[in-house]
Structure formats: C-alpha cells, structure tokens
Chains A and B, each alone.
Chain A
Amino acid sequence: MNEERITEKLNILADAAKYDVSCSSSGSKRKNENKGLGNASNGICHTYTEDGRCVSLLKILLTNHCIFDCAYCVSRSSNDIKRAAFTVQEVVDLTINFYRRNYIEGLFLSSGIFKDADYTMERLVRVAKKLRTEHKFNGYIHLKSIPGASDELMREAGLYADRLSINLEIPTEAGLKLLAPEKNRQDMIKPMGFLNNEIIQHTEEKQLFKKAPMFAPAGQSTQMIIGATPETDQQVLYTSNYFYKSFNLKRVYYSGYVPVINDNRLPALHTSVPMVRENRLYQADWLMRFYGFKVNEIVDQQNPHLDLDIDPKLSWSLRNLQVFPIDINTADLQLILRVPGIGVQSAQKIVSARKFGRLDWEQLKKIGVALNRAKYFITCNSSKFERRDLTGNAIKQYILAQSQSKYLKNSVTQLNLF
C-alpha cells in the first residue's frame, strides 16, 4: 500500500461520508462461529469525535464521484472538489486491519453514484462479499443501498450485510423535488418495501431452519436532513412514524443540516447547525419507540413544532396536567414512564423496588429520578408534595429557572436523552 496515496483517499472519502450521522453497530447477532474474525452484537462506540458523536464504524464512501447533483450534498457533480475512489481490496484491507486493532466494530460503506445504480451497488456488494467469504469477517457491515439498483443486487447485499439503509434525505417529496430533482422518492421507497419483505421471509425461514442464511439481521434504517427545507417537526415525525410502521425500520436518523454550499434553495452558508432541534427530534423519536407515545401526542396541528426549551416529554406533560399527579407506589409502569425526569431504567427500578415497601422522595432520588422535574407530577410515601395548583407555564418556568445551566448551555449538546 502506498501510504501517501491511501491516506489521501481515506481523508477525502471519510470526509465526504461523515454527514451520514448513522453510526450504529447494534442489533445484529452475527457470531464468530467459523473461527474467523469478529462478531457483531453489542454495538460499541470505540471513540468519539470532537463534536461528541460516537465512532463505531469505518464510515467511508467507495467513491465521491457522482453523476447526480443533489443540492445539499458535498459530493454533488457540480461541486468543484477533489475526487477519489477506493479499490475493493483497499476497503477490505482497511476494514480488517482497523478491526484487528479494536478501532472499529465494522464497516459502513456508501458511495456516490458512478455510471449507474447497478454498477455502483455491485461494487458495494463485492466488498461485503469479499470480507465475509474470503476473510471470514463476522464484524458489522452496513451497506448503503443505491436507489434504483436491481432486486437481485439488493438481495445479495442483504445476505452479506447486517444493515441496509436508503436515506430519504428530505422529509417530504416536495422538498426532495426542489433539492434533488434527479432523485425519485419512489425509487427510495420501493427497495425498502422489497427488503422488508425479504427480511420477514428470511426471519421466518430462520425460525424453521437454524441453518437458513441471515438476511440483514440488523434491519433497515434511514436518514433525514433537518433544516435544509422548511418542514415542520410534525411533518418530520409523521414521516418517521410512517416508515417505522410500514417498513419496520430499526432507526430513523435526523441530521441537522450543515451548510456546505451556497445555493439559494438552501439556508445560507453561515447558518448554524440546528442541533437543539435535532436533539429534540431524537428525544421525540425515543418517546415513540421506548416510552409508548403515539406520534400525535407529541406533535399535532396546534403544536407542529417541538418546544426547543424543554424536552418533548415535559411538553406533553404540561399540556396534559389532568393526568397528574400520579402515585409512584401504585401507578402502572406505562404511566410512570410518562413522568418527566424518570427514564426507562428508573421506572423499572421503581416497579421492582416498590414490591418491598412504599418509596419516598429520598429513595426515588437514589434510584435516579430527577426530582427537580418529577416532583410536580408525582406523589409518593410522604406527606410533602406539590400542592399548589400550578399552571403548565408556571411549572415550565420553575423547571427552567432551576435547571438553567443545563438547558441553556445545552443548546449545543447533542442527544442528551431525558
């Protein structure tokens, strides 16, 4: 390997890939049963970027040559940048050698579209195939599916990859038309449906025959860019909800738009990345997936945008004060999960612990409940509790005043969940 050449390629092709925020390596159960290299199971973050994002996978493009001209993308054909392309073998060597040193959980390979969809997809599949068959690599592989590639290639990709993803990029069809006129939303949705069917079918086979091959065991994900087009949070979250429900997506990623281009269809270059909004969307997404919230409880016609000052669970609680206070010693787990300041782990601990005796404030605090928020919504084994008939707005002000440092400084923090 020529060190200088490969270093340059890596710099270009990692740089171009970094705007895809997905870096998850969990959800697969690939074991190391062939005395080969690696396994995929636990999803470890091996390091963190200086902006605090998890680095779990070697995330690169095979090439940043692209025939398309999507306005939001650094690799678009009209952009005057350095182009590079890895060979299949180079990607394989990098993956294996990084993996053996415990730098990464595996590979996330994407690509600009050179020539056509099938040609590009075929190369991506070839990398995965080589890793799996020639190198007995059992680490995590995430392949980007190229919209418009043939079913045959998609199927082959699923046999080697742990996860496949097609990025919707823009939450609405109209937005996509504006910024990526060559792209067709149907080309993105169709393969999601195809892959979903294949995954279901293979899972059923696997239940019948243990030896049946795995097919994308970590499922599908997608990404939407937030803030490049003027969608409301309601539109964004309804889109997510639709894709979670219709295609069993494992994750939807929200990527605050980083201005990279001067284009009058896009926010100006100096616009700051909407990181708080992105964080709130992730929190809302968690509420839908782990806290039993329905999308229309989080956003609706009256509240099309998430409150940037407070998290969406607190917002919901303040709009639904009639539900509270609840008694922590008797309420259902589902209801406890809805209390601001109580996360999934604390909620489960409460339900276990109260079997042994009624819990008081001190114990709740020790269990990990954020009382400064929760205290307005619960009662426990104590005669002291919030008796004033406070309005939602008053509670919000109290909480904000108390946790000022956290919330206001939080404006740059990504993904701080409840």
Chain B
Amino acid sequence: MTTLIYDGTFEGLLTAVFEIYEHRLQHIKIEKGEWLATALFEDVIKVHTDDKRAGRVLQGLQKRLSAGAMQRLYAVHMAGMEGEDINIIGYIRYVIDSVQNVEEDYGNRYVLRLAEMVRMIRREKHRMEAFIRFQKLQDETFYSAIEPDFNILPLLGKHFKNRYTDQKWIIYDMRRNYGLFYNLHAIEFIALDFSTTRPDNVISTYTEDESLYQNLWKNYFHSVNIPARKNTKLHMRHIPKRYWRFLTEKI
C-alpha cells in the first residue's frame, strides 16, 4: 500500500495519477495536505504538482471522454467530498485503461460512483439556487450566507448572474469562508472579515423595507399552508433541517 499526498488541486490529482502509472502502483491511498512527519515511516510519495505531467493525463482523458464528462469530473473533484479522491482516481484509471469511451458504463463501480457524486452535487446546487435568501443592504447589495455540504459556490455564479443582472449581490460560503460578489458587471471572489460582525446577521445594515418584505414573506408562507393536508415527513424530506437557519420563512 502506497500513500500519495497531494496539494488538493485538480492538477495535483492528475500528477498523482501520472505517478501511479510511472511507478506501476496498484494499491494506493490518496490524501490531501502537508507531508506529516509521521508519514515518513510509511510508504509515502509526496506528489509535486507538475503541469506537464498533469497535462499528459489530461490529454489522455480528453481523448476518451466527452467535454461534458470532463466538466463533471472536474466539478466532482472541486466539490471536495470526504474520502472520494480514491474513487475519482479509480475512475480516471478505468477511463485511461479502456479503449473506448466508458463514461456511460454504469455497470462499473467507479463510473456509477461518479454519476452518484454528480447527482449529489447537482442536488446541492439546486438546493442553493432554491434556498438562498437575499437580504437587501443599505448600499443596495443583496446579501446571502450559505453553508453548502460541498464546495459548489463556483457552480452558482452563472445562474445568479443571469437572473439578477441588475442588482449587486453577494453569496457567501461561511463554511469555506469565501464568497461571490457580483458588481453589476462581473463576478469576483471575495473573502470577508467577520471579526466585528456576526456573518449571518447583518441586520444593522438592512435597508428599511427589508424587514417589511421578510415579514410579508413569512406571512405568505403561513397563509399558503393547508392544515388539512399536513405532512411533516414530506416537508422535512424536501427541506432538511440543516438548511432552516438560512431560510427567512423558517427563522
């Protein structure tokens, strides 16, 4: 068993794959992060991210996968799901070892696992598109804080930019501490300093009508409920509890 340690980037992962082939490794573990001293005693390879080597693997993938499958692979890695790098590498190896395009070979465990991860990412992205609640700040920026399960913030930009072209907005991932800021022209990545204010409570900088519309929305939410049809289980399945604290109507 060999452990590969890489820097967490996609290029790093591809470089790791290169090394796997170079050293003909069969049984591997893959980890992100620093080379720990304790690891010295194990069979460890520290992967030095290398654009050339990564590029060779990338080319191999591009030859055998559609553009859509490439994008999905990239998004799955970026999402940073716990313990899944080994499956991503399994997928890459399966693709490279196959003569034909195997992206729809759902009988293969890696292809199927990748499809499952894509589904989870899509679901999380859709949830965010649905559950984001903007609050209007005094400078006319619409602000929203989120805590998605996976790193999907970059996937959200396009949807919100198309939709809210004529208003400034911020979507902030509090778990990963970075955000998207749309300044009426383009999207920037930002990091906010929350040492002075609580990030999920920017109430002091609301516009005047913010509380009016929040209250109206809460009222609306309660008015549309039909008590005779109450179905809490279904409700909870649609909106898992961990999302509630960001939903205006649920606070």
Contact = CB atoms under 8 A, between A and B. Distances in A.
Interface of A: 1, 3, 6-7, 10-11, 14-15, 17-19, 31-32, 35-39, 42, 44-55, 58-59, 94, 97-98, 100-103, 136, 256, 258-259, 272-273, 275, 349-350, 352-357, 359, 363, 366-367, 412-414
A32 B219 contact: no
A10 B167 contact: no
B235 A357 contact: no
B248 interface: yes
Interface residues of B, number: 55
Given A47-B249, A48-B235, A50-B232, A55 B165 contact: no
A47 B239 contact: yes
Given A44-B130, A100-B142, A353-B106, A52 B112 contact: no
A14 B224 CA distance: 6
A417 to B, nearest CB: 13
Given A44-B126, A48-B235, A51-B229, A355 B136 contact: no
A213 to B, nearest CB: 21
B133 interface: yes
B230 A356 contact: no
A412 B231 contact: yes
B219 A275 contact: no
Interface in B140-180: 142, 144, 162-167
B235 A14 contact: no
Given A3-B212, A47-B247, A49-B225, A58 B107 contact: no
Contacts of A359: 107
B107 A7 contact: no
A102 B133 contact: yes
Given A101-B136, A350-B106, A412-B231, 12 more contacts: A1-B209, A6-B216, A14-B223, A18-B223, A50-B231, A52-B237, A100-B136, A101-B213, A102-B132, A103-B248, A258-B226, A356-B107
Contacts of B109: 366
13 contacts: A11-B223, A17-B224, A32-B163, A36-B166, A37-B167, A38-B163, A51-B227, A98-B220, A100-B164, A103-B133, A136-B166, A349-B115, A366-B109
B242 interface: no
B139 interface: no
B94 to A, nearest CB: 11
B104 A355 contact: yes
B250 to A, nearest CB: 8
A47 B131 CA distance: 7
A65 to B, nearest CB: 18
Most A C-beta atoms less than 10 A away, residue of B104, B126, B163, B235: B163
Given A103-B217, A103-B248, A50 B166 contact: no
A359 B223 CA distance: 50
A259 B227 CA distance: 12
B135 to A, nearest CB: 7
Contacts of B134: 100-102
B163 A7 contact: no
Contacts of A103: 133, 217, 248-249
Given A48-B235, A352-B104, A414-B234, A37 B166 contact: yes
B118 to A, nearest CB: 12
Given A102-B133, A353-B105, A357-B107, A50 B235 contact: yes
B219 A258 contact: no
A94 to B, nearest CB: 7
A68 B81 CA distance: 58
B144 A258 contact: no
A51 B220 contact: no
B145 to A, nearest CB: 13
B231 to A, nearest CB: 4
B183 to A, nearest CB: 14
